[in-house]
Amino acid sequence: MSENLVHILGVKFDNVTLKEALEKAIHLAKSETQHYIATPNPEFLLEAQKNPEFKKVLNESDMNIPDGMGVLWAAKYFNITRNSHSKTVKFLKWLSSLLIIPFHPKYIHTVLKERVTGADLMEQICKHAKANNLKIFLLGAREGTVEKVKEILEAKYHGIKITGTFSGTPKIEDEHLITEKVKKSEAQILFVAYGAPQQELWIHRNLHKMPNVKLAIGIGGTFDFIAKIRKRAPKFMQKTGLEWLYRLFQEPSRAKRIYNATIKFASLILKENITSSKSS
């Protein structure tokens, strides 16, 4: 499957659609061995540059879905400049490729064919869990939120088996308590909402302690979306790369994170590309 992998800043991405990601996730959840899926976005990639352990965990996953328009753009940008050694050309293509996204978003869907968010993948897995006789455990988020998520999912997907919930923390001293709860639930799928990189590192440390879990996925703030604590951006903003603007208006306190995921990430991509032309 190496021909379906795209590497950005040293992190692999699977070139999959939501449908393909769902099919693979269900297959992994029904297997005899243990697996985990990660959902890298631009913030993940920035963190991975300064956190070698996190980068290693991402690259050892069974599937990395491209959760962010910035990821699709970076893949496209590296592709359209791969034969150029001119810093000027690389800069002009960097600028033009960014400016075109809101007006022609399909332009960046040629290297990685689709943005696949952790929230969308979780919803699809829950939708198909009953038909595949799969049990689910929900871990993370604030006290009370995870229970609300369970109620909402059970009402939405009749017959879904959510056999355990717990907020907990990603602290090492809490790991034994949490893994015992997950084992008793007999769940095959574990959704972990501790945010990156904590959730991925937690899964990597603890998956082997829960032999019943065949698939673990870190899903960040997805529980908050399902519980309607936070709203997702309208579809047209998601598709045109303007989701960051919606989040900025909704949560001004996230300004630094939004800056990192947009300006800082795009600048790093340009720097990486120009540096690579110097060394080649």
Of 3-7, 160-164, 203-207, the poorest mean pLDDT is in 3-7
Question: Is the same domain home to 38 and 145?
Answer: yes
Rounded distance, CA 217 to CA 124, Å? 13
Instruction: Output the domain CATH number for residue 25.
Output: 3.40.50.2300
Q: Report, as an integer, the average pLDDT of 10-17.
A: 98
Is 0.85 surpassed by the pTM of this model?
yes
pLDDT at 205: 98
My answer on whether 31 and 75 are in the same domain is: no
- Please give the residue range of the domain that contains residue 266: 69-114+235-279
Residues 54 and 124 in one domain: yes
Per the structure, the count of domains in the chain is 2
Q: Check whether residue 127 and residue 252 sit in a common domain.
A: no
Query: CA–CA separation, 274 vs 145, rounded Å?
Result: 45
pLDDT 10s digits, 193-246: 999 999 999 999 999 999 999 999 999 999 999 999 888 888 888 888 888 888
**Separation between Cα atoms, residue 183 and residue 176, nearest integer Å:** 11
Q: Are the C-beta atoms of residues 127 and 157 closer than 8 Å to each other?
A: yes
> Which pLDDT tens digit goes with each residue over 38-83?
999 999 999 999 999 999 999 999 999 999 999 999 999 999 999 9
185 with 215, same domain: the answer is yes
CB neighbour class for 134 (10 Å; exposed up to 12, middle 13-18, buried from 19): buried
Residue 3 is predicted with a pLDDT of 59
Does residue 159 surpass a pLDDT of 70? Answer: yes
Residue 210, CB-side half-sphere exposure with 13 Å CA sphere: 29
Last residue of a domain, one of 206, 226, 246: 226
